Amino acid sequence: MSRMTQRKLLVISLALGLLTAFMVYSFVRAAVRPAAPEKSPDVQVVVAQQEIRSKTMITAEMLAVRVVPRTQANPAALGRVEDAVGRLAKEHILPGEQVLNTRLYARDEKPGLTFVIPAGKRAVSVAVNEVIGVAGFVKPGDRVDVLGTFDESVVGKTVTTTVLQDVEVLAISQRMEDEDDTKARVATTVTLALNLSEAEKITLAEEQGRLRLVLRPAGQEGKEYVAQTTTTQLTQGRSGQSLANIVPGAKTPTKSVAAVAAGSETSADTKPVPAAEQESGWAVELFRGVNRQVVMVDDGAN
């Protein structure tokens, strides 16, 4: 083999070696190179167009829909405007922030008494006890009347009058919802829904007298206008009863009964006492509905 031939073979061998080395290098480099990340799909998220303060009712004008890569979307972000409209914000939301479901109250969730008060009303609390609060049977959502009793030093005579009628009960103590329809719970306060004029009236009545709640039957609406009741009506009522009939300790002397029977003190609304009932001692009149009965009580003098 000539020297020229040997040189050609050497050059070819070197070229093949370099080519093989280059191919091996390219293969290894491709194998260890990280794969290019796949482009994530875009998603819709709801964002705030303006500042939304806590406890604010969200409207459609406050929101916008923005398309962002899935990697930039918060997992709790809402995707539709209608999912946020009508709900209350739990926290302060800044413009451009994604609106998260966890930062909004549920549609039926009432975060405080202020969202339960009817339009045009105010929440006014009055102190109660077992007697004033109808033995604890008044529940949130019930309707009550409010009576007030004022002493002689306040109005010149002791009187009980109807202060308010057909008032909605918003809360009992700190409960805005009735947890048990049957179990009575004695409370210390009852919160009522009143307009501003009624709020002034009941505040003055509580300061000057004593209040009592009267529970209305379910479904009964409207107001009933009645005259106030005074001690004079109790002692000289047109029903014919006297304080002696109501309070057993206040008895009427027999001679007064006898005088009525004789007609000397008979009024249009007082029935004469039969002569058989004119005995010594004290007479107490009892009324059971429209039936009248006179009971004689021995005064111990015999």
Question: Per residue in 235-251, pLDDT tens?
Answer: 765 554 444 444 444 44
Residues of the chain with pLDDT under 70: 1-4, 33-40, 130-136, 154-156, 174-186, 236-302
Strand partners, 190: 126, 172
CA 244 – CA 184 distance, rounded (Å): 35
pLDDT given at position 246: 42
Its domain, for residue 270, covers 236-297
**Residue 225, domain member (yes or no):** no
| CATH number for the domain that contains residue 86 | 3.90.1210.10
pLDDT given at position 94: 93
The answer, as to whether pTM is greater than 0.75, is no
pLDDT given at position 193: 92
C-alpha dihedral sign at 172, 173, 175, 179: negative
pLDDT given at position 64: 94
Indicate if 98 and 128 belong to the same structural domain.
no
Indicate if 140 and 159 belong to the same structural domain.
yes
By the 8 A CB rule, do 87 and 106 touch? yes
pLDDT given at position 46: 95
